[in-house]
Amino acid sequence: MLSQLVASHRQEILERTERAMARRFPSHPPGIDQIPRFLDGVALALERSSEREGAARAAVHAAAVAEAQARKDHGFSIEVVARSFGSVCEAITSIAVERGIELDARDMQLLNLCIDDAIADGILHYAMLSERAAANVAALRAGFLAHEMRNAINGAMVAFEVLREGRVGILGRTGDVLDRCLRRLNTLIAQELSAARLEAGAPLQRERLYVARVVHEIVMALPPRPEVAVTLELDEDVTIDADRDLFASAVGNLVQNAIKHTRPGGEVRVRTLRESAAVRVEVEDACGGLGTDHPEALFQAFRRGGSAIAGAGLGLAIARQSVESHGGTASVHDLPGKGCVFSLAWPRSGSG
């Protein structure tokens, strides 16, 4: 009977499911799924006991909800939730075939019912979590923008009042404060415009960009941080066909983020690399390392170092959306104890 197969081959079922998930999703970390709990629910259901039916359904539902939560927390798509439970069914049936075990039709019906319930519950819970996260991000975004713009405007107003009174010159440090505040406002507005365009699915305004020239202009326009050096290592000849505003927003966000989080006395290195089908823009900082086992989660809005931090804003999320809208990719590589490297790979133009 199927119940005996599940009981006697429990560990093998779990191992086969884990291997199947690793093949389908190479970045899938072991030990985060809820398949053991789900398998316990399946075992209860296969007992065909009316007294245990409620417990079986509750166990399957709890496993599905926990699975959706774990996958969402680790940045996996909704597809992974469905595949997790489907892989269990594949593992069970393959073991049965290999050992010549004939499966009872009623048992298979119960197994498929458990799989169906788990997938449905998992997808519904994942969707609910996504909706809740979107609402939270919208609220955070509005609050973040208002807070940052208020700080920049207040700083600009104070600096302007001092300058208007004539006590200091425009070329002094107060003038620099005014300049930084105005640049910050410009960055915030540009960032919001980029986010709005991406969310609305507006068509890209592509043009031929000489990457080194544009990256140099972007870096020079950012407000400096005297205690952090910025070094440029740029290939002068490479070009891409891209939307200039989205390219500038993506690269500018990465560089500004790197400058902000680099330790005093550290260095930010911005380089371009020519690859066979892409131009890679890398920004290496000296933040001391990411301190997270899931660096890809940093590309979610308002996250830094694996935790939600409003100061991280939308910059990294917009950077990823911008490059992906061009058919490119965004990634991050941790340098433990030193810093990290954020990378944007833009498809190359025909002659670049």
Topology of the domain covering 2-134: Globin-like (1.10.490)
Q: Residue 191 above 70 pLDDT?
A: no
- The predicted model gives 187-201 an average pLDDT of 70
Calculate the CA dihedral of residues 34, 35, 41, 45 and round it to 10 degrees. Answer: 150
Candidate ranges 37-51, 122-136, 193-207, 325-339; pick with highest mean pLDDT: 325-339
Residue 74: phi and psi, rounded to 5, are -95, 10
Q: Residue 313 above 60 pLDDT?
A: no
Residue 39: which of 54, 51, 56, 22 has the closest Cα?
56
Using CA atoms, how far residue 322 sits from 119, 205, 242, in Å, is: 32, 12, 10
**Residue 345 binned pLDDT confidence (cut-offs 50, 70, 90):** very high
This model's pTM is above 0.95: no
- The predicted model gives 219-227 an average pLDDT of 81
Per-residue confidence (pLDDT) for residue 311, from 0 to 100: 39
Per-residue confidence (pLDDT) for residue 308, from 0 to 100: 38
Residues 6+ apart with CB under 8 A from 201: none
**Residue 143 binned pLDDT confidence (cut-offs 50, 70, 90):** low
Residue 24: which of 92, 93, 71, 73 has the closest Cα?
71
| Helix%, strand%, coil% for the chain, nearest 5 | 60, 15, 25
Q: Residue 243 above 60 pLDDT?
A: yes
Distance, in Å, from the CA atom of 28 to the CA atom of 67, rounded to the nearest integer, reads 13
Task: Quick: pLDDT tens for 67-101.
Answer: 888 777 777 777 777 788 888 888 888 888 888 88
Per-residue confidence (pLDDT) for residue 31, from 0 to 100: 58
Q: Residue 152 above 80 pLDDT?
A: no
Q: Residue 200 above 80 pLDDT?
A: no
- The predicted model gives 144-169 an average pLDDT of 78
Task: Quick: pLDDT tens for 288-311.
Answer: 887 766 666 666 654 444 443 333
Per-residue confidence (pLDDT) for residue 175, from 0 to 100: 82
Contact 71, 83 (CB under 8 A): no
Residue 212: which of 24, 352, 15, 43 has the closest Cα?
352
Q: Residue 161 above 50 pLDDT?
A: yes
Alpha helices in 25-104 (DSSP H): 35-46, 50-73, 78-98
> Which of the pair, 351 or 268, is modelled with greater confidence?
268
> Which CATH architecture fits 204-347?
2-Layer Sandwich (3.30)
Residues 6+ apart with CB under 8 A from 34: 63, 64, 66, 67, 70, 84
**Alpha carbon 326 to its chain's center:** 17
Q: Residue 312 above 60 pLDDT?
A: no
